[in-house]
Structure 1
Amino acid sequence: MMTTQKMSKTLLAMMLGTALMSGSALAETTMDKTQSAADSAGQKVDSSMNKVGNFMDDSSITAKVKAALVDHDSIKSTDISVKTDDKVVTLSGFVESQDQAEAAVKVAKSVEGVSSVSDKLHVRDSKSQDMKGYAGDTATTSEIKAKLLADDIVPSRNVKVETTDGVVQLSGTVESQAQSDRAESITKAVDGVKSVKNDLKVK
């Protein structure tokens, strides 16, 4: 008799355990569904936050790079412009030497969140050349104008020449791409020209 009672109790315990397990499994399934719904809603919020996050990241990266440049003793950061687009930092403006340009790029690369750095920095003339700065630019402009005037292909009266720190800007209207290219190559060949910004429009 005792053995039968023991067995009954064991069976009862097993049945109860199974019922509890299936009940908890059911509860888990319901919880899973609720959790996955919450997760997908969370992902939607996350993805929209990411868009805002990217914009915030770019502006905060720009701010961090500017701060890092200011903290660096050998870089004159006031002349450096910083822009960030999708974590790519572009540095532009003027520095005193190639070493400063390289240091600025290195500083920008070390800032957290920066994926790469585009170097558009120009090196200023040395101090001795700075003394003649404006006069040098005027002489360069005059020489370019004279060479364009002497050229048979380029309609020089339509081309405006401006030189700033050895950087020449060509503007105006020409009749063909060949004339635009010719004006640019003549300008690049002139002594004292560091780079040419060709803004000539072709009719």
Structure 2
Amino acid sequence: MSIPTVLFEPRRPDGALSGGGLVLLHGGGGAQIDVPRFFSHAVRLTDHGLTVAMPNYFAGSGEAGEVRRSMTERFRVVVDDAVVWLAARPGVDRSRLALMGYSRGGHLATEVAVTRADVRAAIGVASAGGLEPAAIRRTPPVLLIYAKGDPVVRPRYTRRWAGVLRNREVPVTLRELDSPRHIFEDVEWSDIFSSARTFLTRHLV
């Protein structure tokens, strides 16, 4: 299946993250909302040499009326395929890949990273996870960024997911934002992507 994907290629091939690749996942509102929201931040990552791919994983959702569990598994397959696709891009080192997502995309990013995708790191923003501990088979470092007052994904859900991951020996870093929002303002996104870049530099270089 062909999945529409926005590709951001490096503007600084000699940057600190040169050769690295990031699959960036939209939230539940869809790619049409989050591609514009993430656009400038993704471009800044390319200034550091990173190749960024934003797949519209909803395009792989299949027929309407499928049960939710089946849909979620289909999304996971699409995300894993996106990692494989990015790894094959010219100039991308397949050993230096990461996943990052927001809200539903954050759930997918961390869940796929610890179960199936061959990635070095994962970042979940305003998200948690729902895997059974036994399903966690990989242990890449994970950064979870959440808002103190998030009314949609409560902090306790993110912290609970962090505990599940740690119990399976996944290194987890938690960062709490002093924000009452689930849908962040641009200045908050700038801060989030700055933290993401620091984390990626630590684990992909």
TM, length-normalised to structure 2: 0.25
Which structure has the highest helix share of the two? 1
Larger relative contact order (Cα-Cα within 8 Å, sequence gap ≥ 6): 2
**TM-score, normalised relative to structure 1:** 0.26
* Rg larger in structure: 1
